[in-house]
């Protein structure tokens, strides 16, 4: 477990370069934020607020972060799509301003492959254009509530944006 100074140094090493600005009003998690499920599951998910992979298939690793609102009353899920030169493009995937604590949530990288979706598992009837199986050609982002629901955010090359598919309820 990283504590104190080592934790902060570890966060800074994972973060996009200091020249890159965070979305207005948001900050990186600190050691003081490690509580709830982030603390309870630290052995299984050491950095539940950060995932790194080449999500858009351009050969450059991107960073996904659960960032905390400076007011401590909310959070946002952001992907920093890194570029060969300059600052990354920041894409907001989700934002919550109060009812769910960030420490109940986590992110992880999902490997390419075929996955059965929530509707494919029978949690509900599949809607139009909602697949029973999701075929991932690239790594995706698993966004989850600890011991509860999860969805995948994956790069849709045809629309050049992230799409979301529910994997469990």
At CA 13, angle to CA 1 and CA 95, rounded to 5? 85
Domain presence at residue 143: yes
Domain presence at residue 16: no
Q: Domain count for the chain, please give it.
A: 1
Compute the chain's Rg from CA coordinates: 16
Rounded alpha-carbon distances, angstroms, from residue 60 to 48, 56, 63, 88: 21, 8, 10, 11
pTM of the model: 0.86
pLDDT at 9 over 70: no
Domain presence at residue 112: yes
Q: What is the mean pLDDT of residues 117-137?
A: 95
Q: What is the DSSP string of 91-126?
A: EEEEEE-SSS-GGGEEEEEE-SEEEE-TTTTTSSPP
Domain presence at residue 81: yes
Domain presence at residue 3: no
Domain presence at residue 56: yes
| % the chain with pLDDT above 90 | 79
Structural domain range at position 141: 35-168
């Amino acid at each position: 477990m990283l504590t104190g100074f080592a934790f902060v140094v570890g966060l800074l090493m994972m973060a996009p370069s200091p020249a890159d600005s965070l979305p207005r009003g948001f900050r990186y998690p600190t050691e003081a934020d490690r509580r709830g499920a982030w603390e309870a599951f630290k052995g299984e998910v050491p950095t539940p607020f950060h995932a790194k992979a080449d999500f858009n298939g351009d050969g450059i690793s991107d960073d996904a972060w659960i960032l905390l609102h400076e007011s401590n009353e909310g959070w946002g899920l952001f992907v920093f799509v890194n570029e060969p030169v300059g600052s990354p493009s920041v894409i907001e995937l989700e934002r919550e301003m109060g009812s769910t604590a960030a420490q109940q949530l986590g992110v992880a990288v999902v490997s390419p492959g075929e996955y059965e979706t929530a509707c494919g598992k029978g949690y509900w009837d599949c809607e139009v254009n909602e697949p029973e199986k999701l075929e991932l050609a690239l790594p995706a982002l698993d966004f989850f509530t600890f011991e509860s629901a999860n969805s995948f955010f994956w790069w849709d090359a045809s629309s050049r944006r992230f799409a979301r598919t529910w994997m469990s309820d």
